[in-house]
Amino acid sequence: MAAPIYILEDHRVDDLFPLTYNRPASLLRCGSDLLIDRMLRNLPRPPDGLLIRDTLAVKYRERLGIPINPPVIPGRGAIFVNARWLMTEPFVEPPPDSVGLAADDFAWMHISGPRLKTIDLKRIVRSKFLDDLSHEMTGGVIDATMIHFPWDLLRHVRPLLLEDFKRRGNAKKSKPKKGVYVLAEENIYVGSDVQIFPGVILDATNGPIWIENHVTIRPNAVITGPAYIGEHCVIRAGADIREDTILGPHCRVGGEISACLFQGYANKQHEGFLGNSVIGEWVNIGAGTITSNLKNTLGEVRVPINGRPRSTGLNFVGSIIGDHAKLGIGTMLSTGSVVGFASQVLTSRPPKFIPSFSWVTDEGISRLDFHKMVSIARMAMERRQCELTLADQDIFNRILSSYSSVEEHTWELE
């Protein structure tokens, strides 16, 4: 009997904060799909479970068709697949007590029944336990891409878009309407119930453009491929959507956007430049907000993940903006900035690291009142006909009780 397969969050999920506070690592968008979509497509059979933090279990039991944190039966053994693995090739089932390593990460690990019986299975989620166990396994380094930090989601946008378009390219295409300027039509897919107004330019000369169902693109917008526009997105009049941009579902965007990845359900409807940035869900970016994505020195960008500077190896990195963050009009974000979960930015020149649950003004940073934050999130979601559930509120409360133990920050105001 084949061993059950589990998709597992390991301890490095913390390095993906603030994006993973509110979602499992496997539900990060990378290219046109979520990481878990790529796993489901390439695994030899459906996974037997998704092993995630207890903080998120109730919410995602309601959303996903995969068992969440089911009991792992030791007798059969188990294959653990790392939730941060960007799986692009079919997974071939490995022999028992073997491991596939991607540098210092395990991409997968097959533990036999006898060995699994000796393991405390309560320790494996968000822990280093399997990392330590990997040294006892046979196997070695494999060709596997892991997502370590938020900017890794940006590194792979272009090759993934090219691959995704090629894979989906046989889908039926509908031609844009009269008055729409199209370059390299063979590289453009337009879904059903899409409104594209006269004056729009779709330039797929240097890469494909994929427009999902129920999208609206207002007059004189320009989209340059490769780019992906998710379902129910609205592109405002005159928008400039440049190469390597991913818009998850239900985004409303305008102004100038270049090489950005939106998880979904975010607003950036006005003028202002947004470049090489990762945007969480339920984010609102005010009019005239600008991100710097290149240092004056043209050097490598460092990003303060959880308040600690990390090298990116990249020259172009804008901002990482966590779920439910709100940026007021005229905000100017420095190169490599991080805006924490549910933060409110009400000053034009905020610090490079904004901790979660912050209220940021010209006077400094104070903690955002929890009940006020919940009220803001509820109103934002209701405007999109979505509900802030009790499970959502419980997650907010759990994040609030633990984030300060992860994020390094000295509060200026209390």
pLDDT digits (tens, 9 = 90+) for 197-234: 999 999 999 999 999 999 999 999 999 999 999 999 99
d(CA 157, CA 176): 25
Q: What is the mean pLDDT of residues 306-316?
A: 94
CA dist 266 and 401 (Å) reads 26
pTM: 0.94
Show me where the domains of the chain are located. Answer: 5-147, 153-405
> What fold does the segment set 5-147 form as a domain?
Spore Coat Polysaccharide Biosynthesis Protein SpsA; Chain A (3.90.550)
Q: Report DSSP state, residue 41.
A: H
Min mean pLDDT across 132-141, 170-179, 290-299 is at: 170-179
- Tens digit of pLDDT for each residue in 338-378? 999 999 999 999 999 999 999 999 988 988 888 999 999 99
Q: Which helix (H) or strand (E) holds 392?
A: helix 390-402
pLDDT value, residue 359: 93
Q: pLDDT-derived band of residue 139, with 50, 70 and 90 as boundaries?
A: confident
- In this prediction, residue 124 carries a pLDDT of 86
Helix (H, G, I), strand (E, B) or coil at 168: helix
Express each pLDDT in 246-258 by its tens digit: 999 999 999 999 9
Kindly state the helix (H) or strand (E) to which residue 147 belongs, with its residue range.
Answer: none
With a pLDDT cut of 90, the percent of the chain lying above it is: 72
Beta partners for 370? none
Burial class, 386, CB count within 10 angstroms (exposed 0-12 / middle 13-18 / buried 19+): middle
SS3 label, residue 161: helix
Please give the distance of CA 38 from its chain centroid, rounded to a whole number.
14
Q: What pLDDT is stored for residue 412 in this prediction?
A: 58
- CATH superfamily name and code, 153-405: Hexapeptide repeat proteins (2.160.10.10)
The Cα–Cα gap between 363 and 410 comes to: 15
Residue 396 CB contacts under 8 Å (≥ 6 apart), including other chains? 342, 370, 373, 374, 377
